Amino acid sequence: MYGTEAVIRNARRTISRACAAASLAMGAVLMLATGALAQTATPTPTATATATPTPLPIQPSTLPSGQINTAYSQILSVASGGGTYTWSVSAGSLPGGITLSSDGSNQATLSGTASSASTSTFTLQVTDTAGDPLIRQQFDLTITTLTPNITWSNPADITYGTALSATQLNATADVPGTFSYNPPAGTILHGGTAVSLKATFTPTDTSTYGTATASVAINVLKADASMVVTDASANYNQASVSLKAAVSSTTAVNSGSVSFKVTDGGGKQLGAIATATSISNGSASATFSPRSIAVGTYTVTATFQGSTDFNTTSASGNLVVNQATPSITWPAPKSIPYGTALSKAQLNAASPAAGTFTYTPAAGTILDVGTQTLSVSFTPSDTTNYLSNSATVTIEVTKAKPVLDMATTTNPNARVTWLATYGDASVTFSVHLASSAAVNDGSVTFTVKRGQDTLGSVSATVSASDAEASFPLTGLNAGTYAVAATYSGGSSFTAASNTAALRIAKANPTVTWPSPADIVYGTALSETQLNSQVTAGSNPLSGTLSYGPAAGRVLLPGNGQKLTMTFRPADPTNFNTVRSTVLINVSRAPTSLFASDVTATAKQRSASLVAHVASTATVSAGTVNFTVTSSSVTVASVSARVSGGVARGALSLSGLPPGSYQVSATYAGSNRFKGSTGSATLTIS
């Protein structure tokens, strides 16, 4: 391969030289031709550069590793182009015991026996016959230590629980040193096939030998286990019972699962299989639901499913289901006022078992005031699986105590804030006395306060549990007041009281503001449009009126423009600020146009045409078109913009003979002004 590369390399050099010679010859021919054509031209020599090819690298580019005290030999080569080559180490050094040799060809040899383990970095240089370096290339040469030989056979099978010892951990080496094992001696392996054991050997002579490892496989057989099931008992329809078993072996059992199955005398499974998924020190328990299993004795079969470390085993025990005493849930009833008949609200005992409740006293009984005992007897429908049971509770019977509800007559049970408006003559207070019986005696007093000041009170007799009274509002300003209602009590009822509020809202003044008539642009707003009236009842109300836009404002043309008024009362304590809006239409303002007569001489180049446009406001927008006619024939025209009510147009008189002409002026109008026309006379002398 390298010989072929050398041939290619020499061929490239030959081609390069031939190209250079041809280039020189072509230059000479061109110079002669140029001299014949132009005697004054001087030819310029042409320089030709010859490219030097890049040398190929030393092969191989990396060196194989060697071993200490072992003969090493590696041939190196470069592509040959002929001649003599010199090989040398130009930087670094070879490993001790390794030398570089060459016979002057394109090949060299690294050989020898290394005396120590190391990695050496050095640079090899190859020069040609002329002594010019062809290439310098860096190499790494690693000398490694020797690997000891380890002998270790697969150990015989063991049973789970057997600790690893020298019987299994018995590897040997052909040189002195020490072994370490993983797992170490004393380890108890879990059951399994071909469990890996690893040995690491460290030689005594670490300068000559390296660390070595070896692995073997061992089979760990499962251990036998035994089991004992603990007898259990439960009551009929009990939610759950704990089933327990103990699993033992040569070592503590801490893995696997135990399933519990309950069967009757005929071997029929009852309920679901319960499984203990966790075993701790051989103890396993699972929760079993004996619901709907009749009273009797049943067989519990526990099966240890085995695990990685233990074989399967099973055992049996008993589950005894006894008659259950049905539970009775009967919350202590809340106290009731005298006059309340016993009902399901108090006689509401419950049991998860079907059966019959018998209460003493019975429903409908009215109890005396004081602490009373209620009792119940429960007879189950299923007397095979359930026993009878009973329970008692106490109830407190108090005097009737009505609840005073602040209310309106339309909704007598609603707590409210009574509402009124400043200026109202009175407000009606009403309350309802809620009780176990109708209240028909006693009275309710309504007291109105603000802060610590009492502002008045009224009373009303209670009839059919309601009381209502009218309270005058004369002298009360707008604001919120406290209202206390107090029931005096009666022969069968305790006193009661409650509080609410009276809120007197500010009055809204009445605004009268007729929609104003249409106006034209230029008309300033005045009392004609801004003429609202504010009253309280039928009387004028003092305060401040403000308008937007304000008086004097000139509105732009447009329909439905808003005029807004704001009234701020002089008495803000009792009256609200009010706002009102009306709409007004503003049309464009009409205009009138006056055109001035014009006289000129035929010698003038032009004449000035002037039109005055007047309206309710100064016109400064739009255009006036001037048309000049003679015998109804248009002979000239000019346009001018209106500014400050005047439009001036320069009319060229070129081509107009002396005479009298009619001038028509037309204002087209704008977004604020309507159009208009006028006429004048142009006289040219």
Q: Tens of pLDDT along 177-196? A: 999 999 999 999 998 999 99
Lowest mean pLDDT of 2-11, 628-637, 674-683, name the range. Answer: 2-11
Both tokens of 253, joined, read: 């059992």
Euclidean distance between CA atoms 457 and 444, whole angstroms: 10
Lowest mean pLDDT of 75-84, 479-488, 636-645, name the range. Answer: 75-84
Does residue 620 register a pLDDT over 70? yes
Judge contact between 428 and 485, C-beta under 8 A: no
Tell me which amino acid residue 129 is.
Answer: T
Euclidean distance between CA atoms 486 and 498, whole angstroms: 7
Per-residue pLDDT at 41: 33
Does residue 211 register a pLDDT over 60? yes
Does residue 517 register a pLDDT over 60? yes
DSSP character for 176? S
Reported as a single tens digit per residue, the pLDDT across 414-468 is 557 889 999 889 999 999 888 877 888 899 999 999 999 999 999 999 998 899 9
Choice between 53 and 520, residue whose per-residue pLDDT is larger: 520
Summary mean pLDDT of the chain: 88
Per-residue pLDDT at 452: 92
Lowest mean pLDDT of 18-32, 366-380, 385-399, name the range. Answer: 18-32
Per-residue pLDDT at 82: 76
User: Where residue 289 falls among pLDDT bands split at 50, 70, 90?
Assistant: very high
Judge contact between 639 and 625, C-beta under 8 A: yes
Torsion from C-alpha of 93, 97, 102, 107, nearest 10 degrees: -80
- Percentage of the chain exceeding pLDDT 90: 75
User: Where residue 54 falls among pLDDT bands split at 50, 70, 90?
Assistant: low
Average pLDDT for residues 144-161, to the nearest whole number?
94
Per-residue pLDDT at 399: 82
User: Where residue 15 falls among pLDDT bands split at 50, 70, 90?
Assistant: very low
Lowest mean pLDDT of 147-161, 295-309, 428-442, 543-557, name the range. Answer: 428-442
Residue owning tokens 């603990």: 230
Compute CA 507 distance to the chain's CA centroid, rounded to the nearest angstrom: 50
Euclidean distance between CA atoms 452 and 216, whole angstroms: 101
The three-state DSSP-derived secondary structure of 549-577 is: CCCCCECCCEEEEEEEEEEEECCCCCECC
Lowest mean pLDDT of 58-62, 113-117, 490-494, name the range. Answer: 490-494
Per-residue pLDDT at 9: 38
User: Where residue 27 falls among pLDDT bands split at 50, 70, 90?
Assistant: very low
Does residue 47 register a pLDDT over 60? no
Separation in Å, CA 80 to CA 60, 107, 126: 15, 9, 11
Half-sphere exposure of 582 (CA within 13 A, CB side): 16
Phi, psi (5° rounding) for residue 214?
Answer: -150, 155
User: Where residue 594 falls among pLDDT bands split at 50, 70, 90?
Assistant: very high
Residue owning tokens 């030989």: 149
**Among 318, 334, 328, which Cα is nearest to 396's?**
334
Which helix (H) or strand (E) covers residue 2, if one does? helix 2-37
Average pLDDT for residues 144-148, to the nearest whole number?
93
Average pLDDT for residues 291-317, to the nearest whole number?
93
Average pLDDT for residues 366-378, to the nearest whole number?
90
Lowest mean pLDDT of 8-22, 223-237, 287-301, 613-627, name the range. Answer: 8-22
Phi, psi (5° rounding) for residue 183?
Answer: -70, 155
Judge contact between 318 and 265, C-beta under 8 A: no
Does residue 203 register a pLDDT over 60? yes
Write down the number of H helices and E strands in the chain. 1, 48
Beta strands 232-235 and 453-461, pairing class: unpaired
**Among 566, 575, 576, 574, which Cα is nearest to 544's?**
566
Judge contact between 193 and 140, C-beta under 8 A: no
Does residue 45 register a pLDDT over 80? no
Residue owning tokens 């006193």: 495
Choice between 652 and 39, residue whose per-residue pLDDT is larger: 652
Neighbours of 317 (CB within 10 A): 19
DSSP character for 412? T
Euclidean distance between CA atoms 600 and 609, whole angstroms: 11
Average pLDDT for residues 620-636, to the nearest whole number?
94
Average pLDDT for residues 470-494, to the nearest whole number?
90
Average pLDDT for residues 393-397, to the nearest whole number?
92
Euclidean distance between CA atoms 387 and 237, whole angstroms: 12
Q: What is the DSSP string of 643-666?
A: ETTEEEEEEE-TTPPSEEEEEEEE
Per-residue pLDDT at 407: 59
Does residue 486 register a pLDDT over 50? yes
The three-state DSSP-derived secondary structure of 62-75 is: CCCCEECCCEEEEE
Phi-psi region of 10 (alpha: psi -120 to 50; beta: other; left: phi over 0): alpha
Does residue 8 register a pLDDT over 60? no
Does residue 556 register a pLDDT over 80? yes
Contacts of 629 (CB under 8 A, 6+ apart): 635, 661, 662, 664
User: Where residue 277 falls among pLDDT bands split at 50, 70, 90?
Assistant: confident
Per-residue pLDDT at 490: 81
Judge contact between 242 and 286, C-beta under 8 A: yes
Phi, psi (5° rounding) for residue 67?
Answer: -120, 150
Per-residue pLDDT at 493: 83
Tell me which amino acid residue 119 is.
Answer: T
Judged by DSSP in three states, 608 sits in strand
Write 538-544 long-range contacts (CB < 8 A, 24+): 541/509, 541/567, 541/569, 541/570, 541/575, 542/569, 542/570, 542/571, 543/509, 543/567, 543/568, 543/569, 543/570, 543/571, 543/575, 544/568, 544/570
Does residue 121 register a pLDDT over 80? yes
Per-residue pLDDT at 415: 56
Both tokens of 675, joined, read: 């159009």
Does residue 478 register a pLDDT over 80? yes
